[in-house]
Amino acid sequence: MQLAVSTLLSGISAGGQYALIAIGYTLVYGILRLINFAHGDVFMVAGLVVIYMTASMPLYVALPLMVVFIVVLGFCIERAAYKPLRSAPRMSVMISAIGVSFLIQNFATYYTGGLARFYPEIPFLYDSVTIAGATTRWVTIVTPFLVVALVLLLLLLINKTKIGLAMRAAAKDFETCQLMGIKINSVISFTFVIGSALAAIGSILYFTNYPSIMPQSGALPGLRAFVAAVFGGIGSIPGAVVGAFIIGICENIVKVNPTYSIFSDAVTFIILIVVLGVKPTGLFGEKVTDKV
């Protein structure tokens, strides 16, 4: 019982953290049909920035400042690496994304010397709590509620506001959007801003659980989040969230047996392949109609 509770808790918590990254993948894919490979690395930078900032300022200043910094970073990446390739074939943009990913990792290695850095202990989130006999940190409890709240806020933004209307329209047809007087580049930038902000918030939760940060630390959670987005049906926000929770829980169930814990990622991918075999567009995927 205690084991089941703690497994489920860490599964939900990991899932929630993946969800916040996965939304960034799915939003960008929805509008640009681009898999933004740099997204996981932006997530890693969010962790490093907090470490460097807390050396000279208190946490309550560093964390909001970090979110702002990451938002600006996401915006700049889009403007510098993707916007100039707007009319280029999709493959070129993808290569550009991979390039940005390497660039960020290299910069991180340059600044950290390739050594692991340790995330500061955030009061409250880092504190222990015992539920049904299972001991965990508050971050585990907070994550799912925060994720649900943020997702509801995001859905409200997308379904009820003018910019949300433009985002939904842009996901279908750039040219007609321009005819409506919509500045496509602003809509795309806004999408990157939201995705980056969510990844920044996710990083606070994730690195409280896994406090050691290396330049490659963004790759694995980024990859899992990307898989979650595909699993849920890329382009769909509820899909990304549900997919992320499923992957987080599966991963932690496999990890229960220490002998097999090393295979947790492989098992996750096998489940993904099976699901995609049955439902090629993912759980909540849109019908496969290519952009006209």
Partner 1 sequence: MSDKVLLSIRDLQVSYGGIEAVKGISFDVREGEIVTLIGANGAGKSSTLRSIVGLVKPRGGSIVFDGEDITGADTTGIVKKGVTLVPEGRRIFPDLTVLENLKIGAYMRRDSLQEDIDWVYSLFPRLKERSWQAGGTLSGGEQQMLAVGRALMSRPKLLMMDEPSLGLAPIIVRDIFSIITEIRKRGVTILLIEQNANMALQTADMGYVLETGRITISGTGDELLSNEAVKAAYLGT
Residue 244 is a binding residue for partner 1 (CB under 8 A): no
Nearer to partner 1, 158 or 213 (CB): 158
Q: Which of residues 128 and 291 has its CB atom nearest to partner 1 in the complex?
A: 291
Binding mask 148-177 for partner 1 (x = CB under 8 A): --------------x--xx-xx-xxx-xx-
Q: Is 178 in the site for partner 1 (CB under 8 A)?
A: yes
- Nearer to partner 1 among residue 152 and residue 180 (C-beta): 180
Does residue 241 interact with partner 1 by CB under 8 A? Answer: no
Long-range contact pairs involving 67-73 (C-beta distance under 8 Å, separation at least 24): 67/197, 67/200, 67/201, 70/42, 70/45, 70/46, 70/196, 70/197, 70/199, 70/200, 70/203, 71/193, 71/196, 71/197, 71/200, 73/42, 73/45, 73/196
Asked if 58 is part of the footprint of partner 1 (rule: CB under 8 A), the reply reads: no
The distance between the two most distant Cα atoms of the chain, rounded to a whole number of Å, is: 60
CB of 188 to partner 1, least distance (A): 14
Regarding 180 and contact with partner 1 (CB under 8 A), the answer is yes
Contact 200, 193 (CB under 8 A): no
Q: How far is 239 from 120, CA to CA, in rounded Å?
A: 32
Question: Which of 23, 122, 167, 182 is close enough to bind partner 1 by CB under 8 A?
Answer: 182
* Least distance in angstroms from the C-beta of 178 to partner 1: 4
Token duo for residue 78: 């889009």
Pick 79 or 172: Cβ nearer partner 1? 172
For the chain, how are helix, strand and coil distributed in percent, rounded to 5? 70, 5, 25
Question: What is the rounded CA–CA span in Å between residue 233 and residue 80?
Answer: 28
Interface residue with partner 1 among 1, 55, 91, 179 (CB under 8 A) is: 179
Token duo for residue 1: 């019982």
Element (H, E) at 79: none
Stretch in the footprint of partner 1 (CB under 8 A) among 75-83, 181-189, 240-248, 251-259 = 181-189
Distance CA 191, CA 272 (A): 26
Collapsed DSSP state (helix, strand, coil) of residue 62:
helix
Q: Residue 22 carries which side chain, given as an amino acid letter? A: A
Tell me, by CB under 8 A, how many residues bind partner 1: 17
Q: Which is nearer to partner 1, 84 or 133 (CB)?
A: 84
- Among positions 273-292, residues that touch partner 1 (CB under 8 A) are 292
Q: Binding string, 111-150, against partner 1, x = CB under 8 A?
A: ----------------------------------------
Answer for the pair 238, 284: CB distance below 8 angstroms, yes or no: yes
Binding site for partner 1 (CB under 8 A): 162, 165-166, 168-169, 171-173, 175-176, 178-183, 292
